[in-house]
A and B are shown apart, each in its own frame.
Chain A
Amino acid sequence: MLFQSKIFRGDRVIWMVLLLLSLLSLLIVYSSTGALAYRQASGNTMHFLVRQVFFLGAGLGLMLVMVNFLSVKIYSILANLLVYISIGLLLVSVAMKFMGLSSGSGRTLDLGIISFQPAELAKISLILFTAKVLGKYQKSKGDLKKAFLIIISHAAVVCGLIFVSDFSTSALLFATIFTMLFVGRVPLKFLFIVVGMGVGIIAFTYFLASQFPSAPARVHTVKGRIDRFINGDPNSEQGITQADYAKLAIYEGGIFGKGPGRSDVSNYMAAAYNDFIFAIIVEEYGLLAGIFVMFLYLIFFFRSVVIVRRATRTFPAFLVTGLTMMLVFQAMINIGVSSGVLPVTGQPLPWVSLGGTSLLFTSVAFGCILSVSYQNQINSEIQKPPIQVNMPDEDFEMNK
């Protein structure tokens, strides 16, 4: 049995969830990229499947390397550096966007050999950074206030830069940091201030758009989406929107689904393999399968809570909390958008949606969580971390 082998270290249940999601991913990506394959890969319907197999495989490999060879402490050491690299890259892509050097929405940075979205790196870096700062300042109220200020200032910069090209990722990351602050025992007073300011900013953006038609396009996108969500889509009477397609897919799926590869709606949707993949899962495998997929993410969340409980130190605990929140939030956004509970926005279903380098960043997140889990197992068995890094610890042991 695969799971008996020594290399799948860390929480076995999470590994199990990951493999189930991988399988689902391949099935759904294969059936929902038919139309895309005709557009981009001259009708080679295997193209995207092969690609997905490659990236899922590479991602799983990356996780195995992280679990087996990297100590959790390394992430703590790298956190500061990574956050500043991210800010730098985000600045570069924002600058390129305004100078008109990049094509598309300016989310992707092309480095010649590889192209990736700096926001992906920024998400993980900021979570690492937040976990580190939170872990370090836990002793007193003053400490926590200091932590809050450091984190919120960094988060504002990073999320602000991401906001320029991608509202929903920016919001997702900010929500993740916010819940980390909450879990990290930052006084509620501060959190309420943040919420108040957040509401203020959104309201400001909304009215900015209505008052100043010349405001940046993204501001209008945000306003439009809010309008549509509150008032209903004005187009829905005349034509069919993405959200309609998604609901149609869910409607057509019924309780048990149409069967693997039988999706019709995916042929008509622009982002069936990505932002609305959950709707296609329901179309092909039914409502029950949809609930099961949601359940898989909740199981993952539950196992993460177990890891946090067993963690001996604060940094790993906050790290797992942050990364888990990010992944689960992202999943819930995709599920919420697909089912029409949330306004339309583009977040992939982690580890299921068609992806390239973004899948590798997702696997880094899972890898970190599994590393912590593995370290917990070692700690409980031999009371001694297996891989020592000769640096003074900056965080605290939670038992003290």
Chain B
Amino acid sequence: MEIRKSIVSRIAILYFFLMLFGMVVIFKMISVQQIKNERWEKIAKNLKENTVTIDPNRGNICAEDGSVLATSVPGYYVRIDLAAEGVKRVYSEESDSLAYYLSRFFKDASRAEYNRRLNAAYRAKNRGFMLTPRKVDFQELKQIKKFPILRRGRFGGGMIIEQENQRVAPLGSLALRTIGDLNKGAYGGVHGNIGYTGLEGAYEQYLKGKEGISYRENLSGRWVTRTEIEPQDGMDIFTTINVKMQDITESALRRNLEKNDADWGTAILMEVKTGEIKAIANLGKENGEYAENYNYALGNQGCYEPGSTFKLVSLMAAMEDGIIDTSDVYDTGSGVWKYRGRTIYDSDYRYGGHGEMTVKQIFEKSSNVGVAKIIISAYEGNPKKFVDRIYGFGLNKPLGLEIKGEGQPFFKYPGDSDWWGTTLAWMSYGYESKMTPLQVLTFYNAVANNGKMLKPRLVKEIRENGVLVKEFKPEVLNPMIATSETVGQAQKMLEGACENGTGRSLRNPWFKIAGKTGTAQVATGQGGYQKGMYLASFAGYFPADDPEYSIIVTINNPRGGAYYGGSVAGPVFKEIAERVYAIRSLFKEPEEDPENPEAPVFPEIKKGGSENIIRIAEELNIRNITGKPVTPLVTVKKSDNGLVLDELEIPEGKVPDVRGMGASDAIFILENAGLRVRIDGIGKVKSQSLQPGAAFSRGAQVYLTLG
């Protein structure tokens, strides 16, 4: 008994001490919570200030073959710490010349204005006064570094440099409006990093990536930045755009606009079987030059009365309702028809009219009188049936594109306050209603595709670090817009229009085109039409017997004398069709090598970002990678069963050697070195216009040939 008693009493003593300790802890916790509150508030604030977000790299927007349409390169802002000791010493002497230099450099405000701003900020002891009204590139930054005051650097001259990536389109203006833009931000061009228009806006979620977080921490007296969460780079958007076809489309359109001195024009090339938009060009006149300034192809400003291209819809409606057949005969008389107090003219009525014609001929000659007579005789008693049929084709609904700002199609409905007695007649040949060029093309594409209406697609896939994340499949809007008989007759009429009708000028010896011209007077608003202002268009597809591509070309307000769809928009259609036909075999899916279909071969990359190369190697299951890359860029050599990596140093002030790199790596390196880059072609860099290792002048342009 004695042992137990002794043991237990000794434990009791320990228990007592532990209880005491517990009391101390409770007391301490209460004191932490109740006393010295300010210190904790300060630390909590510090905690947030010590948190630094790390921006991810925005994903690229690529063409279907992977060539880069939009990517990010570094850009800079410069601020000045006007309360720095070094600045104070020299401010009074040099501030005026700094203002002079800034004014001369940016040209956005006078020297006096810059002086006023600087002095106000100086009096307010502004520690981070923004000097750059816009993002500057590396070359410009180097110049600014030599400005008065600033040339003394961070400590002497209070110069603060902020890096923020900026978006560039290495292929120039190609499909620029469809690729889209980043917003310009709320502070006059600063911090524009959110996708806003076009695909940049539509796929912002995927492109933007995820911010990382790092903390500034004090470890044993040393401040270190610890990356807590790595930033996740944005995903790459692979569009359906084909660089070659886009180039063809855009240059054909540009030449034509210049020749006709038009306000704007758009041309869209769509793959019939898939609905993929292979090319989309939008050019508007701005200060005498044509630039991608608005997406007329699908936006609200491009939403116009379609004119004669709509006759296809009207006649198909009547055929579908079994009211007419292509061989029925109507009398178009002298090409002038007075209907309910208004007069309908054929475009060529001055030559005396065509008299009696079959429906097919009416379409081929694009007779307004003919089409109006057909539709009036068929639907005058029941216009609702006609409009319902148009709705049934699915034309009254927008296409539901991912890009913001799609123009809303507009069709009047009998009973509406603006449904006049003449509306049915005018509607029949494309007036008193509105559609975007892309909406018209979608309908024509459906006819080419034997009645199956596909939603136009701009994006094929989304990839993250090269790994497929999301694949977009063709989307069917209407599996059969009309019976196959109607569609078949429509195809014959379109073919006929190009063989014997208004589209005759498009004939060529190699393949047949099917399509329809359109010439619409442009409405100025309340009912009136402006004299001499036309919207010329041409919609169709080729080759007529086995359609591969459909195209619409729309030219607004040509001033060159000609204004008919056939003579203004037609040549653009023809040029695109012929050149695309010539190269189209290049883009057929390559047949798989039956001998060895699976063996992965590491692409012939000579150098590039080490992360990218290692990632590609991992994907191809190449395990044997030797060499220890410390530099972010490496050279690559293939060995028997693996890869050997080696360091790649880029000497300062010399043109970097980017031959053998992928376009994206090459652009990043060159832009970072201070060169402006233009690329041509697809694939890896074959040659560069500035020799590697050569010295280069500020902001020099370097052309890369890919292949």
A251 pairs with B18, CB closer than 8 A: no
Additional pairs, 8, CB under 8 Å, beyond known A240-B46, A308-B11: A38-B229, A255-B33, A265-B47, A305-B12, A317-B4, A325-B14, A339-B29, A340-B28
- Contacts A185-B10, A294-B25, A298-B22 hold; do A241 and B33 have CB atoms under 8 A apart? no
Cα–Cα distance between A252 and B33 once the two chains are bound (Å): 8
In contact, B3 and A185 (Cβ under 8 angstroms): yes
- A residues less than 8 Å from B11 (CB atoms): 183, 305, 308, 321
Interface string of B1-37 (1 = CB under 8 A from A): 1011011101110110011011011101110110001
Asked whether A240 and B26 contact (CB < 8 A) given A305-B12, A305-B15, the answer is: no
Q: A234-B221, A240-B218, A305-B12 are in contact. Are A248 and B19 (CB under 8 A)?
A: no
A66-B8 Cα distance, complex, nearest whole Å: 25
Q: How far is the CA of A189 from the CA of B477 in the complex (A)?
A: 95
Over the window 41-60 of chain B, the binary record of Cβ atoms lying under 8 Å from chain A Cβ atoms (1 yes, 0 no) is 00110110010000000000
Query: Does A10 touch B at the CB level, under 8 Å?
Result: no
Compute the total of residue contacts between A and B using a CB distance below 8 Å: 120
Q: Does B581 contact A (CB under 8 A)?
A: no
Knowing A282-B29, A336-B21, A336-B25 are in contact, say whether A314-B3 is a contact too (CB < 8 A).
yes
Q: Given A240-B43, A244-B43, A328-B18, A291 and B50 touching (CB < 8 A)?
A: no
The answer to whether A287 and B29 touch across the interface, beta carbons within 8 angstroms, is yes
B19 touches A298 (CB 8 A): yes
Per-residue CB proximity of A386-398 to B under 8 Å, as 1/0? 0000000000101
- Is B510's CB within 8 Å of the partner chain A? no
Nearest chain B residue, comparing its CB with the CB of A311: B4
Instruction: Find A239's partner among B19, B40, B217 (CB 8 Å cutoff).
Output: B217
Assembled-state Cα–Cα distance A287/B28 (Å)? 11
Tell me whether B356 is interfacial, beta carbon within 8 Å: no
- B 219-245 contacts with A by CB, 8 A: 220-221, 223, 228-230
- Chain B residues lying within 8 Å of A39, measured Cβ to Cβ, are 228-229
The verdict on A235 contacting chain B, using a C-beta distance below 8 Å, is yes
Distance between A75 CB and nearest chain B CB, rounded to angstroms: 18
CB–CB A247/B18 < 8 A: no
Which residue, B10, B11, B15, B44, has most C-beta atoms of chain A within 10 A?
B11
- Chain A, residues 288-327, CB within 8 Å of chain B (1/0): the string is 0011001000100110010011010010011001000100
Q: Is A332 an interface residue (CB 8 A)?
A: yes
In the complex with contacts A252-B40, A268-B215, A305-B29 CB distance below 8 A: no
Q: A298-B19, A317-B4 are in contact. Are A290 and B29 (CB under 8 A)?
A: yes
- 13 example contacts (A-B, Cβ-Cβ < 8 A) are as follows A38-B228, A183-B14, A238-B218, A248-B43, A251-B37, A264-B47, A268-B47, A287-B26, A294-B26, A298-B19, A332-B22, A336-B21, A339-B32
Q: Is the CB of B10 within 8 A of A309?
A: no
A254→B33 contact, CB < 8 A:
yes
Could you say which of A184, A248, A341 contacts B47, with CB atoms under 8 Å apart? A248
Complex partner residue of A287 from B1, B22, B33, B46, CB under 8 angstroms: B33
User: Which of A185, A254, A311 interacts with B6 by CB under 8 Å?
Assistant: A185
Given A138-B3, A241-B218, check contact A287 B30 (CB 8 Å): yes
Decide if A357 is an interface residue (CB 8 Å cutoff): no
Give the nearest-CB partner of A183 in chain B: B10
Contact B228 A35 (CB under 8 A): yes
Interface size for B (C-beta < 8 A) is: 40
The answer to whether B26 touches A251, judged by C-beta atoms less than 8 angstroms apart, is: no
Min distance, Cβ B646 to any Cβ of chain A, angstroms: 28
B7 lies within 8 A of A252 (CB): no
User: Known interface pairs A241-B218, A252-B44, A302-B15. Does A332 touch B21 (Cβ–Cβ under 8 Å)?
Assistant: yes
Interface pair B217/A251, CB less than 8 Å apart: no
Q: Which residues of B contact A234 (CB under 8 A)?
A: 221
Instruction: Verify B21–A250 contact, CB threshold 8 A.
Output: no
**Would you call the interface of chain B mostly helix, strand, loop, or mixed?**
helix
CB distance from A333 to the nearest CB of B (A): 10
Query: A residues within 8 A CB of B221?
Result: 234-235, 238
Mark each residue of chain A from 271 to 298: 1 if its CB lies under 8 Å from any CB of chain B, else 0.
0000000000010000100110010001
Residues on the B chain within 8 Å of A247, using CB = 32, 40
- Asked if A251 contacts B32 (CB within 8 A), the reply is yes
Question: Are A179 and B14 within 8 A (Cβ)?
Answer: yes
Set of chain B residues within 8 Å of A138, measured between Cβ atoms: 3
Residues in A neighbouring B228, C-beta threshold 8 A:
35, 38-39, 267
Report the Cα distance A314→B229, complex, angstroms. 54
- Give every chain B residue within 8 A of A35 (Cβ-Cβ): 228-229
Q: Is A359 an interface residue (CB 8 A)?
A: no
CB A27 to nearest CB in B, in angstroms, measures 20
A352 at the interface (CB under 8 A from B): no
Residues on B with beta carbons closer than 8 Å to the beta carbon of A287:
26, 29-30, 33
**Interface residue A399 (Cβ < 8 Å from any Cβ of B):** yes
The yes or no answer to A151 lying at the interface (CB within 8 A) is no
A182 close to chain B: CB less than 8 A: yes
Q: Determine whether the beta carbon of A239 is less than 8 Å from that of B47.
A: no
A29 lies within 8 A of chain B by Cβ: no
Q: Are B18 and A301 in contact (CB under 8 A)?
A: yes
Interface residue? A335 (CB, 8 A): yes
Q: Given A183-B10, A291-B26, A335-B25, are A240 and B18 neighbors across the interface (CB < 8 Å)?
A: no
Question: Which residues of A have CB within 8 Å of B215?
Answer: 268
Kindly list chain B residues whose C-beta atoms are within 8 Å of the C-beta of A341.
21, 24-25, 28
A187 CB to nearest chain B CB (Å): 12
Task: Name the residue among B11, B14, B29, B50 with the largest chain A CB count within 10 angstroms.
Answer: B29
Top-3 shortest CB links A-B: A239-B218, A251-B40, A38-B229
Known contacts A35-B229, A235-B218, A305-B15; is-contact A294 B22 (Cβ 8 Å): yes
Q: Closest CB of chain A to B16's CB: distance in Å?
A: 11
Complex formed: what's the CA distance from A138 to B28 in Å?
41
- Measured CA separation A240–B7 after assembly (Å): 45
Separation of A252 and B43 alpha carbons in the complex (Å) = 11
Taken together as a complex, chains A and B put the C-alpha atoms of A252 and B29 apart, in Å, by: 11
In the complex, the chain B residue whose C-beta lies closest to that of A184 is B7
Q: How far is the CB of B15 from chain A (nearest CB, A)?
A: 6
Taking a contact as CB atoms under 8 Å apart, the answer to whether B32 and A309 are in contact is no
Would B22 and A248 count as touching, CB distance under 8 A?
no
Q: In the complex the two chains form, what is the Cα distance from A250 to B29 in whole Å? A: 7
Residue of A nearest to B26 (CB): A291
B29 pairs with A239, CB closer than 8 A: no
**A321→B14 CA distance, assembly (Å):** 11
* Residues in A14-52 with C-beta less than 8 Å from chain B: 35, 38-39
Give the docked Cα–Cα distance between A314 and B50 (Å).
57
Closest partner residue, chain B, to A255 (CB atom) = B33
* Given A35-B228, A314-B3: A309 and B30 interface contact (C-beta under 8 Å): no
Residues from chain A with Cβ under 8 Å of B230 in the complex? 38
A273 to chain B, nearest CB (A): 14
User: Whose C-beta in chain B lies nearest to the C-beta of A139?
Assistant: B3
Alpha-carbon distance between A321 and B47 when the two chains are bound, in angstroms: 43
Q: Which residues of A in the span 339-361 have a Cβ within 8 Å of any Cβ on B?
A: 339-341
Distance between A102 CB and nearest chain B CB, rounded to angstroms: 23
The minimal Cβ–Cβ distance linking A96 to chain B, given in whole angstroms, is 25
A298 and B33 form a contact (CB under 8 A): no
Return the chain A residue nearest B3 by Cβ. Answer: A398
> Which residues of chain A are within 8 angstroms of B44 by Cβ–Cβ distance?
248, 252
Looking at the complex, which one of B7, B26, B43 makes contact with A308 (CB distance below 8 Å)? B7
